[in-house]
Amino acid sequence: MSLDLGQVAHTVTKALDYVGVDDKSHGRRVGLMCHRVAHILGWNRELRHFMLIAGMLHDCGVSSTTSHQKLVDELEWFGADGHCVRGADFLQGFAPFAQYAQTCRHHHTRWQSLPDSMAPLERQFTNLVFLMDRFDVVLAVYGTSHQPHDVFRARDELVETLRPHSGTLFSPALFEAMREAIRKDSFFIELEEEFLDQAIFETLSFWDHSTILAFDDIMALGEMISQIVDAKSHFTHYHSLRVADLVYALGGLLGLDPDRRLALRLTGLLHDIGKLRTPDEILEKPGALLPKERDLMLRHPLDSKLVLASLFPGTPIAKWASQHHEKLNGSGYPFGWTAERIDTETRILTMCDIFQALCQIRPYRGRLPVDDVVAIMQTMVTAGELDPSIFRVIVANRHELYKIAIREGMMAA
């Protein structure tokens, strides 16, 4: 499969930007600013594009809205290094993005404290991301009480808020390059939502980011993203990984062809990517959701569809993911479709999602034994919500599937 890695980075970043809930563009702004400052530094096109993608991906270790808020509220945060480590690990898991892991790993490390083992250029890469990340926070705070065009008159004042940290947190050379970059009015205009993606795509068009990936590489991308999603709450840790294992196993039991099983497994890995937008307190609430909380939860299948349609155009992956909360009797969401609109793969994904969720420890209950899981699903089958023929296969193989559902660690297959 041919993928444009620039497009992939942009799409993953856009999904990660959901974590901010109200601020949906931080990663993309940081990436674009890194590119613009790199241009002032005289770096060649390859290095500028490296900085664009590294800047976009820098926060891939942030899944929690609580962590995101800490990073927005404080210039330096004691716990910031944790998401840098996680992000670097995630990027290492997908070979084409492994080159950005080192930059991600130290993007909250002070300029004075960067490891001596880092090459000079690597030190500049990671510190430039740190500088632009913090400057974006300065801009975001300013923007809460001002109109976008006000920034032109305040640009020097805003940059000067970071000057006390030049030489300690930030490289003086990088700081001065930023001061020069902001002289261009376009620097700020391009950061506005209506111009941002156009500026990024136009920049990406000057370098060929396309590559042919084997399906194992595509699956590694899916695993990387699923780890980011599942890290959002310790109650959902490994959920996507285990749903992927379950749909692959159940697809085999039902006689699906190998390509369909693999595509369904990839969907299992990515079906909940839209939950990055769901606030932590909703995912971890120990009791019933309030109506407004449920309303926020109801949107995640379509948020998933938006991301996956961009990542995997021309495939059914986005469709399957967007429908995994539909029920055969029309009681599901977000479309409320009935049986004739719901295909076999979606039915498999839906049932495996329910099976794994019931097997997993959640904030409002402990792990259920397999017979209880089957009993609960039986009531849903009786109510006309789930496919009875697929359910019979689950019942016949419930002990094998239960072992898959409760397994911890990375992919089983």
Residue 68 has pLDDT above 60, yes or no: no
- Confidence check: pLDDT of 71 > 70: no
Mean pLDDT of 197-215: 90
Q: Between these two residues, 71 and 364, which has the higher pLDDT value?
A: 364
Is the predicted pLDDT of residue 276 greater than 90, yes or no?
Answer: no
- Structure pTM? 0.86
Q: Are 235 and 363 in contact (CB under 8 A)?
A: yes
**Cβ–Cβ under 8 Å, residues 88 and 102:** yes
Reported confidence tier of residue 412, pLDDT bands at 50, 70, 90: very low
In which band, very low, low, confident or very high, does the pLDDT at 411 lie, cut at 50, 70 and 90? very low
Checking if the pLDDT of 318 tops 60, the result is yes
In this predicted structure, what is the pLDDT of residue 388?
A: 98
- % of the chain exceeding 90 in pLDDT: 68
Q: Please, which contacts does 308-315 make with residues 24 or more away whose CB atoms are closer than 8 Å?
A: 308/267, 308/270, 308/273, 310/7, 310/11, 310/14, 311/8, 311/11, 311/12, 311/270, 312/266, 315/263
**What would the mean pLDDT of 405-412 be, rounded to a whole number?**
69
Catalytic residue among 232, 275, 305, 327: 275
pLDDT one-digit tens code per residue, 217-267 = 999 999 998 888 877 766 566 889 999 999 999 999 999 999 999 999 999
> Could you tell me which of 24, 133, 160 has the C-alpha nearest to residue 77?
133
Residue 11 burial (CB count, 10 A): 21
The residue that leads in pLDDT, 276 or 252, is 252
Active-site residue, 275 included: yes
Q: Is the pLDDT of residue 413 over 60?
A: no
**What is the distance of C-alpha 270 from the center of its chain?**
10
Q: To the nearest whole number, what is the mean pLDDT of the chain? A: 90
More confident call, 314 vs 35: 35
The sign of the dihedral angle between the CA atoms of 259, 261, 266, 271 is positive
Q: Give the closest residue to 220 by CA, choosing from 85, 102, 104, 95.
A: 95
Residue 80 is predicted with a pLDDT of: 83
The model's pLDDT over 386-408, given as tens digits with 9 standing for 90+, comes to 999 999 999 999 999 999 999 87
Average pLDDT for residues 122-134, to the nearest whole number?
Answer: 97
Max CA distance (Å), the chain? 70
Q: What are phi and psi of 325, to 5 degrees?
A: -110, 15
Q: Name which residue leads in pLDDT, 287 or 176.
A: 176
- Residue bearing the bigger pLDDT, 205 or 79: 205
366: helix, strand or coil: coil
Q: Average pLDDT of 281-299? A: 84
- Pick the more confident residue, 29 or 18: 29
What pLDDT is recorded for position 323? 97
For 85, other C-beta atoms within 10 Å of its C-beta total: 13
Q: Over the stretch 325-353, which tens digit does the pLDDT of each residue have?
A: 999 999 999 999 999 999 999 999 999 99
Structural domains in the chain, sorted by start: 2-211 (1.10.3210.10), 230-406 (1.10.3210.10)
